[in-house]
Amino acid sequence: MPNRLLLLFLLLPALSRAQTQPGSADSLRLEGKYQAANEAISAFQFDAALRLLSECYIRKPKEVAYLLKIGYCHSQLGRYPDARLFYEAALKEDTANATALSALGQLYEQQDNYHQAQAYFARLIHIDSTNSYYYKRSARLYLKQGDATRALLAYLSAHTLNGTDIEVITQLSSLYLAMEDTSYAGRFIDEGLRLAPNNIRLLQAQARLLHKTKQHSAVAATVQRTLALGDSSSYYSMLLGVALLHLDSTQAAIRHLQSIVARKEDNEHTHHYLGLAYRKLGHLDESAAHLNLALDKAISPKAGDYYYELGQVLDLQGQLRPAIDAYTKALDFGAGAEARYFLARAADRYFKDKTIALQHYQRYLASDDTAFREYCSQRSRELKEALHFQQ
């Protein structure tokens, strides 16, 4: 049916050259058909609208309004090649038609052809550089292409032209947060929340900013507010759990983190923080289990941290051999000198051959870390003396 209808649109104008005169009975009938098509569109009856528009198109095949409506109906029905055909036909009649240019940009964006979509919004900006919407759409396309710098510049242009666009303010907040520019991020978040105090996305951005600046009590209050407004994001539930953990509300933190697991939305970070929470309560078996789950799910560069923390839990349990293995893995994954210190301590207690512990103490001393330097220096001297008398 769609192909037959498209063929009808394309061929019948060549078969019928009758032109309507303004004010004539034929013109009035045509206007009635067009209005009926618009009513069908308003009722989401796009196939019915196309049947009515076909009669209009037959009479006036170069009428831009008809071409745009036909393109729109095809786009709503998912017939993107047909939609493009009619929007491009409209552009042939009116090369600066904003509706056609914007629609073509959106069609190419829907098909992930961001470069081509960008070209259409660039044309729109060239036609009207005072329209904030064009900059906003262009910025979104830059983001989808991974060009955060150009996206930022385009969003700033959009904001200059329209300082009350909440979407633009939210995106600027997120971009500055990603750039670790907490000052500008905070400025835009505050500006946005003055305009829309209950905007969940802005409150989420505020929670991320507060988390970055370690304002844990404020993080908890902000996330609890978003949850009350209907936010169900597992990431922000986790952020609340982390804040509660920092505030020593460990049981409450575990409840929030376990709710994420119950919804099957858990990831490595959920289990990492559960591991820390259970360790804080002295529940070492549960702590080790969650840290192992964090390692099973790990896709971030934090595996070294998880192995280090697992080593500490095993160390506390007196499982020195597994703890040594965990510390060693932590160092393999880039953990800091602190892991070397705890590895040296565990090796010192586990191995009869003290040369192993001595090597680790000396490797710690060769690092820039100073937290355990005094102990490691003293213990190295003791081991060297003991090894000397064993010769």
Identify the three-state secondary structure at position 72.
helix
Residue 174 is which amino acid? S
Tens of pLDDT along the chain (391 residues)? 555 555 555 545 544 444 455 556 778 888 999 999 999 999 999 999 999 999 999 999 999 999 999 999 999 999 999 999 999 999 999 999 999 999 999 999 999 999 999 999 999 999 999 999 999 999 999 999 999 999 999 999 999 999 999 999 999 999 999 999 999 999 999 999 999 999 999 999 999 999 999 999 999 999 999 999 999 899 999 999 999 999 999 999 999 999 999 999 999 999 999 999 999 999 999 999 999 999 999 988 999 999 999 999 999 999 999 999 999 999 999 999 999 999 999 999 999 999 999 999 999 999 999 999 999 999 999 999 988 777 6
Dist. CA 368–CA 373, nearest whole Å: 9
Number of Cβ within 10 Å of residue 38's Cβ equals: 15
Does residue 362 contact residue 348 with C-beta atoms inside 8 Å?
no
What pLDDT shows up at residue 337? 96
Burial of 276 (0-12, 13-18, 19+ CB in 10 A): buried
Dist. CA 99–CA 102, nearest whole Å: 5
Dist. CA 165–CA 171, nearest whole Å: 10
CA distances from 310 to 245, 291, 315, 335 (A): 18, 6, 8, 12
Domain spans in the chain, listed from the N-terminal domain onward? 1-94, 349-391
CATH architecture assigned to 1-94: Alpha Horseshoe (1.25)
Does residue 358 contact residue 380 with C-beta atoms inside 8 Å?
yes
- Residue 53 per-residue DSSP state: H
Dist. CA 305–CA 159, nearest whole Å: 41
Q: What is the pTM of this model?
A: 0.82
Residue 241 is which amino acid? G
Q: How would DSSP label each residue in 128-150?
A: -TT-HHHHHHHHHHHHHTT-HHH
| Tokens 């192993």 -> residue | 356
CA distances from 198 to 60, 89, 98, 181, 351 (A): 50, 44, 34, 24, 60
Instruction: For the chain, state the CA radius of gyration.
Output: 33
Dist. CA 105–CA 110, nearest whole Å: 9
CA distances from 216 to 247, 248, 283, 354 (A): 7, 11, 24, 44
Dist. CA 199–CA 204, nearest whole Å: 9
Main-chain dihedrals φ then ψ at residue 299, nearest 5 degrees: -130, -10
Main-chain dihedrals φ then ψ at residue 258, nearest 5 degrees: -70, -30
Dist. CA 239–CA 263, nearest whole Å: 16
Which structure tokens are listed for 307?
């192995």
Main-chain dihedrals φ then ψ at residue 233, nearest 5 degrees: -65, 130
Dist. CA 56–CA 44, nearest whole Å: 19
What pLDDT shows up at residue 232? 86
Q: How would DSSP label each residue in 258-314?
A: HHHHHTT---HHHHHHHHHHHHHHT-HHHHHHHHHHHHHH--STTHHHHHHHHHHHH
Dist. CA 153–CA 323, nearest whole Å: 50
Rounded to 5°, the CA angle 53-55-58 comes to: 110
Dist. CA 391–CA 380, nearest whole Å: 17
Which structure tokens are listed for 200?
């969940």
